Amino acid sequence: MMSAYSLRRRLLLWLFVATAVIGLLALADTWREALRTAQSVSDRVLVGSALAIAERVTVDETGALEVDIPYSSLEMLTSTAQDKVFYRVDGPVGTFLTGYADLAVLPPTLAGLAFSDGRYRDVSIRSATLVREVSTGERSIAFSVTVAESTLARAALAKAILVRSTIRLAVLILGVACIVWLAVTLALRPLDRLGAIIAERSPDDLRPVTADVPQEVSTLVQAINSFMARLDTALDALRNFTGNASHQLRTPLAVVRTQLALIDRSETPQQMAASTAKAQTALERAERVLAQLLVLARVDAATGVVALQSVNIVTIAKELTAEMVPLALQREVDLGFEGPDEANAMAEPVLIAELLNNLLGNAIAYAGHGAVVTVRVKEYPDGVVLEVEDNGPGLSASQIAQARRRRRGPPVQGLAPIKDHEAGYGFGLAITAEIAALFGAEIQLQTGSDGRGLLASITLRRAVGVV
């Protein structure tokens, strides 16, 4: 037995996994952006501090450079993160003037400003070197100001941005999860109603399910209705089969039982022979009914799944006619065939043979001694017609109408019951009609030529590509 799973939990799990993956990517991008933002802020402060120091570089009376470090410029670099600040002034460039002598000076650029990350005294730093010139009146002297600070403040700023982003993302995920949980609960209510509708039905209620469901569930409802229709068809076939079996076999078996009782009470050989002959006839009829029931079961099994193919109807008709000749001679029936050499139609070989076998068997059995039975195959532009005609007693107009309307199973209310000696004929015609329906055709019954006998015909579609 397959274990059940929660659709709600599965949806939430997939949502959480997808959101977590996207969230991790977003956090990674946020972290990089936070570092860039913190670095940008730090660089602006470094430049501001370097400019403040550069403005205090002057030329003394001897023409040398001197600087009065404004400590306010260094204080702007400090923060609550207890950053360490380092500076160095060189003037002229390459000549140490003041500050930390071992602090590295960055190579000058065209813009006169350079930034770099590094380590100084076992501390991670961010440094900036600013190159400027001061005039002595006669010439200009280039000097550089290098300012560095530890990256504690920058890391703290990036961490604060990341933490805030993480909290917002977590709140967003929880909010979406709650919304999805509620939305899935509401969305699954039609399925609950659908399950309740089906559960309330009785076992024999196979009517189509009608429920107000979303479009996404309509396919499921259609599949359930299709399954119910197929199940109903299968149950009908089973009921028809058992009903036909009991109905058709009851009479011949009763006749056999009665004749056996008469044989036991027979006083003369003639009476015994007569009862034996009647019992033999009843057994033959029971055998024929059993054979028809087997055909009926085969037709029920093929309903809806029969694969039509190109079949030479003439070949099958000739073979079956030849097989029936001994039985026709025994019944003193003149059996013949009329038709072209070849006529291809869309059918199933075994079932079309069973159809013709039923028509031929009925005609030979009920046409009477001395009757003429003819099997015909005719070709027309739109189809191939298969006919079986006899000149026996046939069926009356009311019996033909009854045979057209009757279906397998119990007699239809309002129709006169078929007489006992006609039951096999009616049953065989019902099977023939079922087989014809599988081919998309319909059995036609009418009075034979000259107003005598019965003419049964079926029109089959011509095989594709056959002229």
CA distance 446 to 389: 10
Cβ neighbours of residue 230 closer than 8 Å, sequence gap 6 or more = 304
Nearest to 316, CA basis, from 384, 221, 215: 384
Question: What mean pLDDT comes out for the span 16-44?
Answer: 84
Percent helix / strand / coil, the chain, rounded to 5:
55, 20, 25
H-run or E-run covering 144: strand 140-150
Whether the CB-CB separation of 284 and 228 falls below 8 Å is answered with: no
Indicate whether 79 pLDDT > 60: no
CA distance 26 to 319: 80
**Whole-number average pLDDT of the chain:** 81
The encoded tokens of residue 49 equal: 């501090």
Name the pLDDT band for 311 (thresholds 50, 70, 90): very high
Q: pLDDT above 70 covers what percent of the chain?
A: 85
DSSP annotation of 268? S
Higher pLDDT among residues 312 and 158, named by residue: 312
| Residue 12 burial (C-beta neighbours within 10 Å; 0-12, 13-18, 19+) | middle
Whether the CB-CB separation of 23 and 169 falls below 8 Å is answered with: yes
CA distance 304 to 264: 50
Indicate whether 298 pLDDT > 70: no
Which pLDDT belongs to residue 344? 92
Model pLDDT for residues 143-170, shown as the tens digit of each residue? 899 999 888 877 887 788 888 888 888 8
Residue 349, helix vs strand vs coil:
helix
Cβ neighbours of residue 313 closer than 8 Å, sequence gap 6 or more = 343, 344, 345, 347, 352, 377, 384, 386, 460
End-to-end CA distance of the chain: 55
Cis peptide before 92 (omega within 30 of 0): yes
Model pLDDT for residues 190-221, shown as the tens digit of each residue? 888 888 888 888 877 888 888 777 777 788 88
Nearest to 112, CA basis, from 194, 170, 54: 54
Cβ neighbours of residue 444 closer than 8 Å, sequence gap 6 or more = 456, 457, 458, 459
Distance from chain centroid for Cα 114: 64
* 48, HSE (Cβ side, Cα atoms, 13 Å): 13
CA distance 309 to 462: 10
Cβ neighbours of residue 39 closer than 8 Å, sequence gap 6 or more = 126, 154
Indicate whether 426 pLDDT > 60: no
CA distance 69 to 73: 8
Q: 127-141, 239-253, 347-361 — which is least confidently predicted?
A: 239-253
In the block, tokens 């000549």 appear at 95
Nearest to 76, CA basis, from 87, 68, 67, 65: 87
Indicate whether 414 pLDDT > 60: no
The encoded tokens of residue 19 equal: 């959101």
Model pLDDT for residues 317-337, shown as the tens digit of each residue? 999 999 999 989 988 999 999
Q: Which domains does the chain have, with CATH numbers?
A: 7-160 (3.30.450), 203-298 (no CATH), 306-460 (3.30.565.10)
Which pLDDT belongs to residue 199? 84
Name the pLDDT band for 412 (thresholds 50, 70, 90): very low
Which pLDDT belongs to residue 70? 79
Whether the CB-CB separation of 458 and 443 falls below 8 Å is answered with: yes
Phi, psi torsion values for 70, nearest 5 degrees: -80, 110
Which pLDDT belongs to residue 305? 58
Higher pLDDT among residues 339 and 407, named by residue: 339
